[in-house]
Structure 1
Amino acid sequence: MSTFDDRTDAGERLANDLERRGLEADIVLGIPRGALPVARPVADALEADLDVVVARKLGAPENPELALGAVASDGTVWYNDGLVDRVGASAGYLEDVREAEAENARQKADRYRETPGLAPLEGKRVVVVDDGVATGATARACLRQVRAAGAGSVVLAVPVGSPRSVEELEGDADDVVALETPADFRAVGQYYRDFGQVTDEDAIAYLER
């Protein structure tokens, strides 16, 4: 079942694919923490700067692991309207969790960057990288933040993803590149032999290389 040895292996394969496509980028944005080992080889191959874009999932009432959507560090939000309706989350609940998670995302971004907020993206060719796409909630919020920051072009690049989520994300990017979109996709981690946790310290080290 495993497709990639670890995140670095996945990043190197992703970088090779993007090079073959002739993709050019000014900046690569990894979604912390797990995307940084993937994004580093991509940034190196494309001779682009590496930085971060941060979003947090919006958990459902009584089930925080169930993502009703996601919010980026600037407050840009995406809701899974069908799921919100199914669980009956109130407007008040959604606003409270959006505010809390937006603040958490801002604090997380500030841990990774010397200056607050998102890197300047006006007119730039941006590649957003994650280690995989399951629901696509955080990726979608990140893509929307990058768009709102005035990026000239936005590409999402991932080693593996749910076919449905990858297809849906095409509406939020100029292109979506996924090396693998298995029909029996269940979770990102099943396609890695080593999918251990990436610490903040490790993730920051990839930015500093």
Structure 2
Amino acid sequence: MNTRFRDRHDAGQALAEALSHYRQTPDLLVLALPRGGVPVAWEVAQALDAELDVLVVRKIGVPWQPEVAMGAIAGNGVRVMHDDMIRSLRIPQDEIDAIVRDETMELERRETTYRGHRPPLRIKNRTVIVVDDGLATGATMQAAVKALRAQSPARIVVAVPVSPPDTADDMARVADDVVCLMQPPGFAAVGQWYQRFDQTSDEEVQELLGLSAS
């Protein structure tokens, strides 16, 4: 497969097919990385008849190019940083600290917005499929896996529609299974593999989570 997806829902349906062997897994949990991972994960959870929830992770972007991740944070103080990149770009520590502070505030805001009064995630001894709309550097997904691993799941599956080959290889070293539909050698950005790649809104995230819970 080396074609573009129509949108995130189309990508989620294709990803669900590749994950169909997990459908009979007891107590299966599908976790989306918001916001863009939620429409993809919703399709996966529907197809696999699994519980859907979100795991909020925030990218720590390079100061002058925020879309490029030099690291990521998750809850409970989990942080994954690309130290080689930071050294090569000579990014001052005070700038990194300022970005981490801002992103921690945004992480907490999104936790409140998306999860509200939901009970804490129940991870222990469960198979968890972690879904995003694609990987670039993989920093946010690595932070997600690190945060989950501390809660003793039975198995962590990273599932994405598209990723650079080297990032997918990195994921295979931290997850128990990686399902990735496309690993194109000419990868430049996740959005290039979608015909429609509009930003997912908070309202859409809340709507899909509400539909899943109903």
TM over 0.5: yes
Equivalent position of 2:47 in the other structure: 45
Structure 2 unaligned residues grouped into runs of 5+: none
Q: Deviation at 1:5?
A: 1.1
TM-score, L = length of structure 1: 0.91
* Aligned-residue RMSD, C-alpha: 2.0
Which of 65-74 and 91-100 deviates more? 91-100
- Superposition pairs for residues 168-179 of structure 1, below 5 Å? 168-179=170-181
Q: Which residue of 2 aligns with 1:102?
A: 104
Indicate yes or no: 2:18 matched with 1:17. Answer: yes
**Equivalences for 1:45-194 in 2 at 5 Å?**
45-115=47-117, 119-194=121-196
Equivalent position amino acid for 2:178 in 1 = V
**1:16 and 1:114 mapped to 2: Cα distance?**
31
CA separation in 2, counterparts of 1:90 and 1:26? Answer: 42
Does structure 1 conserve the Cα–Cα contact (< 8 Å) formed by 2:23 and 2:48? no
1:195–1:2 Cα change, 3 Å: farther
Say which SS state the counterpart of residue 78 (structure 1) adopts. strand
Q: In structure 2, do the counterparts of structure 1 residues 22 and 10 end up closer, same or farther at CA, with 3 Å as the change threshold?
A: same
After alignment, is 136-145 or 117-126 more displaced?
117-126
2:9 matched residue in structure 1: 8
Q: What is the CA distance between 1:102 and its match in structure 2?
A: 2.3
User: Once the two structures are aligned, what percentage of the paired residues are identical?
Assistant: 38
1:101-141, Cα deviation, whole Å (9 max, x unpaired): 22321221211002378512111110000001111111111
Please point out which of 197, 202, 205 is paired with 2:204.
202
Closer/same/farther in 2, CA of residues 11 and 172 from structure 1, 3 Å limit: same
Change (3 A) 1:118 1:106: farther
Partner deviation per Cα, 1:75-126 (whole Å, 9 max, x = no partner): 2110111101112234444344333322321221211002378512111110
Q: Deviations over 1:59-89 (max 9, x none)?
A: 2344433321011132211011110111223
For residues 93 and 141 of structure 1, the distance between their equivalents in structure 2, rounded to whole angstroms, comes to 20
C-alpha distance in structure 1 between counterparts of 2:63 and 2:43, whole Å: 38
Change (3 A) 1:117 1:138: farther
SS in 1 for 2:110: helix
TM-score, structure 2 normalization: 0.89
Q: Would the alpha carbon gap of residues 121 and 186 (structure 1) be closer, same or farther in structure 2, given more than 3 Å must change?
A: same
Does the aligned pair in 1 maintain the 2:22–2:48 contact within 8 Å? no
Output the CA distance in 2 between the equivalents of 1:116 and 1:15: 25
2:141 partner amino acid: A
**How far does the alpha carbon of each residue in 1:18-62 deviate from its partner, in whole angstroms, 9 at most, with x for none?**
104667361100011111110011111221110001111112344
Q: Retained in 1: the 8 A contact 2:128–2:157? A: yes
